[in-house]
Structure 1
Amino acid sequence: MYKRILVATDGSSLSKKAVANAIQLASSCGAELVAMKVVPRYPQTYFEGSIPLSAAEIGRIEKQWADAATENLVAVQKSATAKGVACKTVTVKSDVVSDAIIATAKKQKVDLVVMASHGRKGIKRLLLGSETQQVLTHCHTPVLVLR
């Protein structure tokens, strides 16, 4: 059925449930799992009255985010390996999570994208946006959304 499954994680408890389901699905299908984490770039805009950070400080913050992503993906890989699922990890640096997920799905040639949704509605969705909705709308690969 599925040969390659992409699971997007942000390390949240809801995301961990999606990862567990993706591992279980990959195990039952004999599929390879591609676990991904999107790391933002540090914003370079400066607001009046703010203190701009040095390039070294920005580099330290971005490295901290990348290290946390690696730690998160290593945990996913260990869980997958324990269930007998081959797992590849990918960290993508992007300011737009949905675009990074769609691009990674295409680049990795996956058959399915698995991701979690917080299920926000109304004003919260308007203010916080919905990365899941963007992936559902623009991805040419089937998407499994878990809550």
Structure 2
Amino acid sequence: MYQRILVSTDGSELSQKAASHALQLAKSTGASLIALTVTPAYPVTYLEGSMPINAEQAKEIEAKWRAESQQYVHSIQEDGAKLGVLVTPVIVNNDNISDAILETAKEQGADLIVMASHGRKGIARLLLGSETQHVLTNANIPVLVLR
């Protein structure tokens, strides 16, 4: 059925649930798993009311984010090893999370994307945007959304 499943994680409890589900699905179908985390660049802005930050501080923050991302995907990789599922950890730096998920799925030859959604509705969804909605709308492979 599925050969390569991509699961997107940000380390949140909800995305850990999606990763667990993706691992079980991979195990039951004999698929491998791609554990993806997308890290954005730290915005260096000088807008009124914001604290100015220099390039060195931004690099330190980005390095911290990359280290956290390594922990997220390697945790999934360790869980996969316990289940006998081959997990490929992937960390992508991109400010557009949904586009990065779609691009990585294509590059890695994924045939299913698994991700979590907070299930926001109404004005909250409009104001906060929805990475999941963008992936659902633009993916050319199946997307499994967990809430």
TM-score of the two chains, using structure 2 as the length reference: 0.96
- Report runs of 4+ in structure 1 exceeding 2 Å deviation: 48-52
Q: Name 1:18's counterpart in structure 2.
A: 18
Counterpart position of 2:87 = 87
Look up the match of 1:96.
96
Give how far 1:10 is off. Answer: 0.8
* RMSD after superposition: 1.0
* 2:124 paired with 1:124: yes
Q: CA deviation at 1:77?
A: 0.5
Rounded to whole Å, the distance in 2 between the matches of 1:13 and 1:50 is 29
Q: Distance in 2 between matches of 1:62 and 1:142?
A: 31
SS of equivalent residue, structure 1 residue 110: coil
Which residue of structure 2 aligns with residue 42 of structure 1?
Answer: 42
1:3 counterpart residue number: 3
Q: How many residues align?
A: 147
Give the drift of 1:49: 5.2
Task: Report the secondary structure of 2:45's partner residue.
Answer: coil
Counterpart residue number, 1:54 = 54
Distance 1:50 1:16 in 2: 32
Tell me the SS of whatever aligns to 2:72.
Answer: helix
List gaps (5 residues or longer) in structure 2: none
The separation in 1 between residues aligned to 2:97 and 2:76, in whole angstroms, is 19
Q: Alpha-carbon deviations, 1:122-147, whole Å to 9, x = none?
A: 11101111110000001111101111
Mark the runs of 5 or more structure 1 residues left unpaired by the alignment: none
CA distance in 2, matches of 1:118, 1:49: 29
SS state at 1:52 partner? coil
Q: Secondary structure at the match of 1:22?
A: helix
Amino acid at match of 1:74: H
Q: Is the 8 A contact 2:3 2:30 kept in 1?
A: yes
Shift of 1:17: 0.8
Displacement of 1:99 after TM fit? 0.6
> Percent of pairs identical after alignment?
55
Partner of 2:137: 137
TM-score when normalising by structure 1: 0.96
Q: Which residue does the alignment assign to 2:77? A: 77
Aligned-partner Cα distance in 2 for 1:111–1:48 = 45
